[in-house]
Chain A
Amino acid sequence: MPELIVAENLHKSYGKVVAVKGLNLKVDEGSIMGLIGPNGAGKTTTIKIILGLLRPDEGKVAVFGENPWDNPKIREKIGVIYEKAYFPSHHKVLDYLKRTCRIFGVPESRAREVLELVDLDAYEREIKGLSAGMLQKFAIAHALVHNPKLIIADEPASNLDPEARSSLLELILRLHKEEDVTFLISSHILPELSRVCDSVAIIDKGRVLASGRLVELFEKYSAKAIRITTDKPEAFAEELRKLSYVKRLSIDSKGVSLIAAEGTESNIYEDAPKIAKKISAVIMGIELGTASLEQLYYKVVREKG
């Protein structure tokens, strides 16, 4: 599958602060790639370099085979959603989108189409009068105006309420399926990202720790999660933390999920009943399954970070 984005050995520093350090990234055409990592990992810097807003200190990047800094024509095929939407504030919503249509040479009727697509009906309101959520919807509509083949989104779901987030994810899946749009999405919200992404790049301290198709990464990192359903999750978790092979743990009202060190997963079948007896808890079930994206992320960071 051809690669729409190829970044090789990117380095970028802001004074003494190293933002990106030897970063390599490839985004295949037709994929939905998630760029995941903590704050300050270098996600936004990477996206800015890909968009031609920043020049890397070293390394090179090609988008649609071209250097994005020198070839603005490629932007006809790229839609951009920034974490914080930046638009001239004194334009009306519909007017500005119509202007965007004219910029890209698409019929002005497309402006209403994309506003309907994102469920934003404040056509006549000035951009400065939009709420944060509405502004984010407007930014998404703005990115879709010219039917881009690639959408680059930096935290696109920030500022959206749960319903709008869900709609955004559905929209992403629909655009991907029906119009074969490729996505590069940076996000902190891993459970939601895992609903749409077919591949991820895990980034930390300015470099990609792991990247590839999700199924392959789960397989490669043997990211297996153990789920213990119990009536006393808090107390159970406290005891589990004492076990040296338990690497990561999360609690909810019905039980505990954990990641164990590789090859030690079976130990839990021996230890869990002992803990249950000790704290007088009832175990309703122990399951071994595929980890969540969040669990995969922590496993990769722990092993390679």
Chain B
Amino acid sequence: MRKSKGRPFLEILAASIHEDFRFPILEVFAFLYAISTFAFLGLGGGFTSTLTPQNEEAATYQLVNIQMGTPLFIFLILIFKNVVYGFGSEFEKGTIQTLLSYPLKRRMILTAKLLSALGISLTMFLGIQFFALYIMAPQTISANLSTVLISYLASLSYPLFLTAILLLVAMKVRKGGLALVSGIVLYFALSIASGILTALSLTTGNSLSLRVLSILNPSLALQFHYNPLSSLIGETIWNPSFNEVLMYIASGYCLVIAAFSIAYYYFSRRLNI
């Protein structure tokens, strides 16, 4: 029998996309992204009139930030569905054994699974977001592209970190449903802890906890960079410079890389199936 070079990576990726986004999941989520993004479009005039940015950069940041809110939550739901539940179910149903019978390194199998579960979601999220931004404020966006990119980088660091942690959770518990519940509990526990620490800073005027939280979630540093006033005490509690914000974003992504590296190491070298 004639044999040519196989393409296990592409085929495993295609099979994963087929499983993760079979009709109508992709369509439903694309619709939700679009609706939640473009809902802002209809209210655009109203928003711009209520915003009082001190400069154009801050206005761009606010535009991106407001527009990103709900879609980012939908992005998280998709992550929970595909990475946490989907990957956990691979172990539960045993399909991971079949994947590991193919001539492909474990890390490449994980990459294919993540490209499907995370890559498609991210592309869809960013694609619709940028498209909407250009429709809403083409000149502002073109003139402040770096602010737009920094805003997305800062906002996506925490969800990506969470993804890597939840990936590890899914590999550890090996059950789709249990991994999903663990992920949701972890997400809300972190959100509550973050909320308490932020409130503490805002009421006491001590910025230490904000600085610590910003390592995990650099969007907080960006938020205070553009809006340093505490609405609770009416004075500036933290005003990080742009370079500091970049440092927080860099440290946030260092955490993301570290968490994904641990997940890759665990899957490639330690995980017994």
List A contacts of B96 (CB < 8 A): 86
CB-contact partner of B95 in A74, A87, A99, A110, under 8 A: A87
**Interface residue from B4, B11, B93, B100 paired with A53 (Cβ < 8 Å):** B100
A90 to B22, CA, bound (A): 8
B72 to chain A, nearest CB (A): 28
B18:A55 contact, CB within 8 angstroms: no
**B104 contacts which chain A residues (CB < 8 A)?**
72
Interface residue total, chain B, C-beta cutoff 8 A? 31
A residues 49-101 touching B (CB-CB < 8 Å): 51-55, 72-76, 78, 80, 82, 84, 86-91, 96, 99-100
Q: Mark A198-225, 1 if CB is under 8 A from B, else 0.
A: 0000000000000000000000000000
Q: Does the CB pair B6–A103 fall under 8 Å?
A: yes
Contact between A76 and B103, CB atoms less than 8 A apart: yes
Which bucket holds chain A's interface residue count?
A: 20 to 34
The reply to whether B5 and A103 form a contact with Cβ atoms under 8 Å apart is no
A86 in contact with B273 (CB, 8 Å)? no
Q: How far does the Cβ of B5 sit from chain A's closest Cβ, in whole Å?
A: 5
Q: Does the CB pair B18–A90 fall under 8 Å?
A: yes
The interface bits of chain B over 102-118 (1 if a CB of A lies within 8 angstroms of the residue's CB, else 0) are 11111000000000000
Complex contact B15–A91 (CB within 8 A): yes
Q: How distant is A72 from chain B, measured CB to nearest CB, in Å?
A: 5
Complex CA gap A73/B102 in Å reads 8
Cβ-defined contact, B15 with A105, below 8 A = no
Among B2, B7, B273, the residue within 8 A (CB) of A102 is: B7
B11 near A105 (CB under 8 angstroms)?
A: no
Contacts of A75 in B (CB 8 A): 101-103
Beyond A51-B101, A73-B103, A90-B18, whether A103 also contacts B95 by CB under 8 A is no
Q: Does B14 contact A (CB under 8 A)?
A: yes
Residue A104 is within 8 A (CB to CB) of chain B in the complex? yes
Q: Whole-angstrom distance from the CB of A143 to the nearest CB of chain B?
A: 8
* B101 near A104: Cβ-Cβ < 8 Å: no
* Docked-complex contact A102 and B100, CB < 8 angstroms: no
Q: Is the CB of B18 within 8 A of A91?
A: yes
Contacts of A84 in B (CB 8 A): 94
Give Cα distance in the complex from A107 to B1, angstroms.
Answer: 8
Q: Tell me if B11 and A107 are in contact (CB < 8 A).
A: no
A9 near B: Cβ within 8 Å?
Answer: no
CB-based contact B2/A99 at 8 Å: no
Determine the chain A residues whose CB is within 8 A of the CB of B4 once the complex forms.
Answer: 105-106
Closest residue on chain B to residue A98 by CB atoms: B11
- Residue A48 lies at the interface, judged by CB distance under 8 Å to chain B: yes
Residues A54 and B6 in contact, CB atoms below 8 Å apart:
no
The answer to whether A88 and B18 have CB atoms under 8 Å apart is: yes
Given contacts A72-B105, A99-B15, contact A87 B98 (CB under 8 A): yes
CB contact under 8 A between A99 and B11, given known A76-B6, A105-B5, A107-B2: yes
Whole-angstrom CA separation of A72 from B110 in the bound complex: 14
Q: Which residues of B contact A (CB under 8 A)?
A: 1-8, 11-12, 14-15, 18-19, 22, 93-98, 100-106, 270, 272-273
9 A/B residue pairs, CB under 8 Å, sorted by A: A53-B97, A53-B273, A72-B104, A73-B103, A80-B101, A82-B98, A99-B15, A104-B102, A105-B6
Q: A53-B272, A78-B101 are in contact. List 9 more A-B contacts (CB 8 A).
A: A48-B273, A51-B101, A72-B102, A88-B98, A89-B93, A102-B6, A104-B102, A106-B3, A106-B4
Which residues of A line the B interface, CB within 8 A? Answer: 48, 51-55, 72-76, 78, 80, 82, 84, 86-91, 96, 99-100, 102-107, 110, 142, 146-147
